[in-house]
């Protein structure tokens, strides 16, 4: 309690939620950088033409803005880490996870620099994207868990995990975790499609070179076709999750998030086709990456809810500041 008899304001859940939103915006911006061919607009790193304040015109605007927003994300997540250490000492795993997130951000930043220094090598650039998706997943776990712990034992409708039956929670966890893994894998392959310039290897949609299964005669067609195939698997899996959640009468919030995932994956497929048919126009390509990231975050949230709802009683105990 504070000196005035009121409970202290708990800020770390909000900080983690802002981090998730910030990461989504950064992923969108990174996609715009590539789609506008601005990745090497700043030929050096971490400066841009030897300065931290270059003239923000043309491709330099997008590339340097991407760097500035990335720097802001590091500061924001650092603040969230400090807050969780101060406000939730009874949850040491969250602080350790946040420290891991800071390390992940720093490594990801180094890979961003390497993409510039070594002139966009495919594997390095794709690793840069993959680390960003991993960080988004970790930030989503922390945002979901911290909000749940602050609510404590309050049976609010928004607390979707509290009313899950153990068997349903386990099934939800498997459904959501496998779905998140599929989305992550498809996004990595999508990164290869992007950085190998394979986006137009199949110039038609929904077929590829006029066939359901094209001749896989070179790496560009192969990686593009694998990306599409994984997209179909993700679509079927996530829609299946939403149908299962609805038929089994899961809590309303879980059904809403599952339905949101189904809409996101459908939109994602449409955007993939529009990206090809528009010859990789900036808007659909950038949104394609954003929706993939949003879908990953939703599935990770559902997986986290299922895990927390089956946690040991000591993990579900109401924190002192929430009483």
Q: Answer whether residue 318 shows pLDDT above 50.
A: no
Q: How many CB atoms lie within 10 A of CB 117?
A: 13
Which DSSP letter does residue 51 get? B
- pLDDT tens per residue, range 46-100: 999 999 999 999 999 999 999 999 999 999 999 999 999 999 888 899 999 999 9
- Confirm if 147 and 308 have CB atoms less than 8 A apart: no
Q: What percent of the chain has pLDDT over 90?
A: 81
Q: Which of 133, 152, 171 is the last residue of a domain?
A: 152
What is the per-residue pLDDT for 149?
56
Q: Which domain holds residue 35?
A: 1-152
- Confirm if 39 and 115 have CB atoms less than 8 A apart: yes
Q: Answer whether residue 17 shows pLDDT above 80.
A: yes
Report the alpha-carbon distance of residue 284 to residue 262 in Å, rounded: 19
Q: Which of 111, 136, 152 is the last residue of a domain?
A: 152
* Candidate from 5-14, 94-103, 130-139, 244-253 with smallest mean pLDDT: 5-14
Token pair, residue 63, equals 């590339």
For residues 246 and 109, membership in a common domain is answered with no
For residues 181 and 294, membership in a common domain is answered with yes
Confidence of residue 166 (pLDDT cuts 50, 70, 90): confident
Number of domains, the chain: 2
For residues 101 and 173, membership in a common domain is answered with no
Q: How many CB atoms lie within 10 A of CB 6?
A: 8
- pLDDT tens per residue, range 211-263: 999 999 999 999 999 999 999 999 999 999 999 999 988 899 999 999 999 99
* Candidate from 163-167, 196-200, 231-235 with smallest mean pLDDT: 163-167
Report the alpha-carbon distance of residue 222 to residue 265 in Å, rounded: 22
Measured in whole angstroms, the distance separating CA 266 from the mean position of its chain's CA atoms is 17
């Amino acid at each position: 309690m504070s000196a005035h008899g009121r409970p202290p304001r708990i800020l770390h859940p909000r900080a983690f939620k802002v981090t998730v939103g910030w990461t989504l915006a950064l992923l969108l911006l990174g996609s715009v950088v590539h789609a506008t061919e601005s990745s090497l607009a700043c030929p050096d790193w971490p400066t841009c033409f030897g300065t931290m304040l270059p003239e923000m015109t043309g491709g330099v605007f997008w590339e340097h803005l991407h760097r500035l927003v990335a720097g802001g994300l590091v500061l924001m997540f650092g603040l969230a880490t400090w807050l969780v250490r101060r406000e939730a000492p009874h949850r040491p795993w969250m602080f350790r996870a946040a420290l891991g997130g800071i390390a992940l951000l720093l490594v990801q930043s180094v890979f961003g620099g390497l993409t510039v220094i070594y002139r966009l090598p495919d594997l390095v650039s794709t690793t840069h994207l993959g680390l960003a998706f991993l960080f988004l997943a970790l930030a989503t776990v922390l945002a979901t868990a911290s909000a749940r712990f602050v609510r404590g034992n309050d049976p609010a409708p928004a607390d979707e995990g509290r009313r899950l039956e153990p068997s349903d929670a386990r099934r939800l966890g498997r459904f959501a975790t496998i779905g998140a893994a599929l989305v992550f894998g498809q996004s990595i392959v999508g990164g290869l499609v992007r950085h190998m310039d394979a986006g137009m290897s199949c110039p038609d949609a929904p077929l590829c070179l006029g066939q359901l299964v094209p001749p896989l005669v070179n790496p560009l067609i192969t990686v593009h076709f694998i990306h599409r195939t994984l997209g179909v698997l993700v679509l079927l899996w996530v829609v299946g999750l939403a149908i299962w959640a609805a038929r089994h009468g899961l809590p309303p919030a879980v059904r809403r998030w599952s339905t949101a995932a189904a809409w996101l994956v459908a939109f994602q497929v449409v955007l993939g086709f529009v990206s090809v048919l528009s010859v990789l126009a900036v808007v659909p390509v950038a949104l394609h990456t954003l929706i993939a990231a949003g879908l990953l975050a939703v599935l990770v949230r559902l997986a986290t809810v299922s895990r927390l709802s089956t946690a040991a009683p000591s993990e579900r105990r109401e924190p002192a500041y929430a009483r």
